[in-house]
Amino acid sequence: MLFIVAATQAQTLQSFFDKYSNDERFEYVSVGKGMMNMANAFGGNIKNNDKMTSKMKSIKILTLKAESTSPLMKSVVNDIDQVVAKGNFESAVESREKGEMVHIYYRFSGKDDADMLIMTKERGEFSLIWINGKMTKEEMMHTFSNNGKAFDQMNNFNNEESKVS
Protein backbone atom coordinates (compact mmCIF):
# COMPACT_ATOMS: atom_id res chain seq x y z
CA MET A 1 0.00 0.00 0.00
CA LEU A 2 2.82 2.34 1.04
CA PHE A 3 4.63 1.41 -2.15
CA ILE A 4 1.60 2.30 -4.30
CA VAL A 5 1.19 5.65 -2.51
CA ALA A 6 4.91 6.39 -2.95
CA ALA A 7 4.76 5.46 -6.63
CA THR A 8 1.73 7.66 -7.23
CA GLN A 9 3.37 10.64 -5.53
CA ALA A 10 6.55 10.25 -7.52
CA GLN A 11 4.58 9.84 -10.71
CA THR A 12 2.78 13.13 -10.21
CA LEU A 13 6.01 15.08 -9.89
CA GLN A 14 7.56 12.92 -12.60
CA SER A 15 4.65 13.57 -14.93
CA PHE A 16 5.06 17.31 -14.35
CA PHE A 17 8.72 17.11 -15.38
CA ASP A 18 7.85 14.82 -18.30
CA LYS A 19 5.21 17.28 -19.47
CA TYR A 20 7.58 20.23 -19.72
CA SER A 21 11.02 18.67 -20.20
CA ASN A 22 10.70 18.35 -23.97
CA ASP A 23 8.96 21.70 -24.43
CA GLU A 24 11.08 24.07 -26.51
CA ARG A 25 10.32 26.98 -24.20
CA PHE A 26 11.94 25.22 -21.25
CA GLU A 27 15.48 24.23 -20.33
CA TYR A 28 15.76 20.81 -18.77
CA VAL A 29 18.76 19.10 -17.21
CA SER A 30 18.90 15.60 -15.80
CA VAL A 31 21.76 14.34 -13.64
CA GLY A 32 21.83 10.64 -12.91
CA LYS A 33 23.57 8.47 -10.37
CA GLY A 34 26.67 8.12 -12.53
CA MET A 35 27.55 11.78 -12.35
CA MET A 36 26.72 11.95 -8.65
CA ASN A 37 29.71 9.75 -7.98
CA MET A 38 32.05 12.27 -9.54
CA ALA A 39 33.69 13.91 -6.55
CA ASN A 40 33.94 17.40 -8.04
CA ALA A 41 30.61 17.45 -9.80
CA PHE A 42 29.18 20.12 -7.56
CA GLY A 43 32.28 22.09 -6.74
CA GLY A 44 31.93 23.70 -3.34
CA ASN A 45 28.19 23.88 -3.31
CA ILE A 46 27.39 20.80 -1.40
CA LYS A 47 28.86 20.15 1.98
CA ASN A 48 30.58 16.80 2.47
CA ASN A 49 30.51 16.19 -1.28
CA ASP A 50 31.38 12.51 -1.30
CA LYS A 51 28.97 11.54 1.45
CA MET A 52 26.08 13.58 0.14
CA THR A 53 26.45 12.85 -3.54
CA SER A 54 26.62 9.12 -2.88
CA LYS A 55 23.21 9.39 -1.23
CA MET A 56 21.62 11.30 -4.08
CA LYS A 57 19.99 9.34 -6.87
CA SER A 58 19.07 12.08 -9.29
CA ILE A 59 18.79 15.81 -9.84
CA LYS A 60 16.36 17.27 -12.36
CA ILE A 61 16.28 20.95 -13.21
CA LEU A 62 13.52 22.63 -15.18
CA THR A 63 13.86 26.30 -16.09
CA LEU A 64 11.41 28.64 -17.77
CA LYS A 65 12.52 32.04 -18.94
CA ALA A 66 9.38 34.13 -19.23
CA GLU A 67 7.72 37.11 -17.60
CA SER A 68 5.85 36.34 -14.41
CA THR A 69 2.67 37.78 -15.96
CA SER A 70 2.80 35.53 -19.04
CA PRO A 71 0.05 32.89 -19.38
CA LEU A 72 2.64 30.09 -19.65
CA MET A 73 4.33 31.11 -16.41
CA LYS A 74 0.98 31.31 -14.64
CA SER A 75 0.00 27.89 -15.96
CA VAL A 76 3.30 26.28 -14.88
CA VAL A 77 3.17 27.82 -11.41
CA ASN A 78 -0.43 26.66 -11.05
CA ASP A 79 0.54 23.13 -12.12
CA ILE A 80 3.45 22.83 -9.69
CA ASP A 81 1.36 24.26 -6.85
CA GLN A 82 -1.13 21.45 -7.44
CA VAL A 83 1.65 18.85 -7.53
CA VAL A 84 3.04 20.15 -4.24
CA ALA A 85 -0.40 20.22 -2.64
CA LYS A 86 -1.23 16.65 -3.72
CA GLY A 87 2.24 15.24 -3.16
CA ASN A 88 2.43 15.45 0.65
CA PHE A 89 5.27 17.96 0.53
CA GLU A 90 6.23 19.93 3.59
CA SER A 91 7.64 23.39 3.41
CA ALA A 92 11.20 23.66 4.72
CA VAL A 93 12.25 27.19 3.81
CA GLU A 94 10.54 30.09 2.15
CA SER A 95 12.28 33.36 1.49
CA ARG A 96 11.29 36.41 -0.53
CA GLU A 97 13.58 39.34 -1.10
CA LYS A 98 13.77 42.05 -3.74
CA GLY A 99 11.75 40.21 -6.34
CA GLU A 100 13.49 36.92 -5.63
CA MET A 101 11.75 33.96 -4.11
CA VAL A 102 13.09 30.61 -2.91
CA HIS A 103 10.78 27.93 -1.63
CA ILE A 104 12.09 24.55 -0.53
CA TYR A 105 9.80 21.60 -0.01
CA TYR A 106 10.60 18.07 1.08
CA ARG A 107 8.86 14.78 1.55
CA PHE A 108 9.67 11.19 2.43
CA SER A 109 8.31 8.47 0.18
CA GLY A 110 9.72 5.48 2.02
CA LYS A 111 12.52 4.57 4.37
CA ASP A 112 15.05 7.40 3.91
CA ASP A 113 13.78 7.92 0.36
CA ALA A 114 13.40 11.65 0.12
CA ASP A 115 12.44 14.23 -2.47
CA MET A 116 13.55 17.83 -2.15
CA LEU A 117 11.90 20.35 -4.42
CA ILE A 118 13.49 23.78 -4.73
CA MET A 119 11.43 26.42 -6.44
CA THR A 120 13.12 29.71 -7.35
CA LYS A 121 11.60 32.76 -8.94
CA GLU A 122 13.56 35.78 -10.03
CA ARG A 123 13.18 38.41 -12.69
CA GLY A 124 12.00 36.63 -15.85
CA GLU A 125 13.07 33.17 -14.68
CA PHE A 126 11.40 30.32 -12.87
CA SER A 127 13.39 27.23 -11.89
CA LEU A 128 12.52 23.95 -10.30
CA ILE A 129 15.20 21.67 -8.86
CA TRP A 130 14.13 18.19 -7.87
CA ILE A 131 16.66 16.23 -5.84
CA ASN A 132 15.89 12.62 -5.04
CA GLY A 133 17.93 10.39 -2.78
CA LYS A 134 18.22 8.28 0.30
CA MET A 135 18.55 11.10 2.79
CA THR A 136 17.25 11.95 6.21
CA LYS A 137 15.68 15.34 6.91
CA GLU A 138 18.88 16.57 8.57
CA GLU A 139 21.01 15.48 5.63
CA MET A 140 18.66 17.20 3.26
CA MET A 141 18.78 20.42 5.24
CA HIS A 142 22.58 20.39 5.06
CA THR A 143 22.66 20.02 1.30
CA PHE A 144 23.21 23.73 0.83
CA SER A 145 25.54 24.94 3.49
CA ASN A 146 29.11 25.24 2.35
CA ASN A 147 29.25 28.56 0.56
CA GLY A 148 26.23 30.42 1.78
CA LYS A 149 25.94 28.61 5.10
CA ALA A 150 22.25 29.33 4.83
CA PHE A 151 20.97 26.23 6.55
CA ASP A 152 23.74 26.31 9.14
CA GLN A 153 22.67 29.79 10.15
CA MET A 154 19.08 28.67 10.35
CA ASN A 155 19.98 25.63 12.43
CA ASN A 156 22.16 27.70 14.79
CA PHE A 157 19.30 30.10 15.25
CA ASN A 158 16.89 27.26 16.00
CA ASN A 159 19.32 25.67 18.47
CA GLU A 160 19.81 28.92 20.35
CA GLU A 161 16.07 29.52 20.38
CA SER A 162 15.52 26.14 22.00
CA LYS A 163 18.25 26.85 24.61
CA VAL A 164 16.66 30.15 25.58
CA SER A 165 13.20 28.67 25.86
Least spacing, CB of residue 2 vs other proteins, in Å: 26
Residue span binding other proteins (CB under 8 A) among the ranges 1-9, 67-75, 83-91, 147-155: 147-155
Question: What Cα–Cα distance (Å) separates residue 143 from each residue in 40, 73, 149?
Answer: 15, 28, 10
Which of 13, 24, 163, 161 is CA-nearest to residue 79?
Answer: 13
Residues numbered 28-47 forming contacts with other proteins, rule: CB under 8 A: 28-35, 38, 41-43, 45-46
Give the number of other CB atoms < 10 A from CB of residue 25.
11
- Four-CA torsion 152, 85, 79, 71, nearest 10 degrees: -80
- 72 binds other proteins, rule: CB under 8 A: no
Question: What Cα–Cα distance (Å) separates residue 110 from each residue in 1, 32, 113?
Answer: 11, 20, 5
Residue (10 or 154) nearer to other proteins, CB: 154
Residues lying near other proteins in the complex (CB under 8 A):
21-24, 26-35, 38, 41-43, 45-46, 58-59, 61, 63, 93, 95-97, 100, 102, 118, 120, 122, 127, 129, 144, 146-151, 153-154, 156-157, 160, 164
